[in-house]
Structure 1
């Protein structure tokens, strides 16, 4: 039962703290949301970087395939005078595949450029979010500083007020009371001294 009461109190204090933070402009939840967005964007940048690497690997593979095919064509052309029927068929197949290889290289280049553009866009989004977070944190920090200054001035004002109340009201009252107690004590002792 006590734990339930403490849980409810803690919940009410948290809600009151949130309301005070919202009212004073020191609510940090917007910055926390930006931080979550930045982490998500960082994951996206990492995935896009991985996609760029895969596209580069695919382009390298397409270039390798094209290079191997061209090398084989050059090798066949060097011994053109001694071709067999099989060599002729292979040459024709390589010539036909040259267009396919060119298309594969172009497609790999296009995929690489698209992946690089997507990566650049993700990076610029990340940079914008980081700038927004920095800006929001600066505003939050300035608000905390400003509120702290006003709280300090308020506490100084309360201290000065209490000092003036002490000097103007409490000290004269204590002095009068002390004088009365001393007079009463003297009045009580005076008849005793006279009686002796």
Structure 2
């Protein structure tokens, strides 16, 4: 098992993008069990400056969250989004899979093609399955790249409204929508500067 851990460690170290257990199994010798080896490898990296984290369906080596400040000069990336793009991204993240019509219903205004194209080009959203409704509209979901950028294992790890407010990222204002948001009893489709801080990096 130790040798399998070494193999996985080598692959993760050399790969910038998260890699799935299936891809690891395809690279490793026949008979290896990457899933079991990954459990031991992650335990071995617990508490260290670099950790093995799960991102969507894949795994990657990342700097420990509490040491991120040490990397700020190396990882600063200006990625400004328009207000429309921020709102659209937030809606997709919290309501996925969601159609363009549903996004527009929540926002109360139409969504331009340019806004969606920008998020697609950034690879923060992708096309999901088509809905089994008249017209078979395509849905949108966030990508593994989005999860990786914000240090999330999956979309369920997105902060709830109470957490955002306690962190000072949202002001307490009256809700503008009524769909559920993870971590809170209701929604609020807030579009203040605090939300911009959450989605701008």
TM bracket (short chain): under 0.3
Which of 1 and 2 has greater Rg? 1
Instruction: Kindly indicate which of the two structures has a greater share of residues assigned to helix.
Output: 1
TM-score of the two chains, using structure 2 as the length reference:
0.17
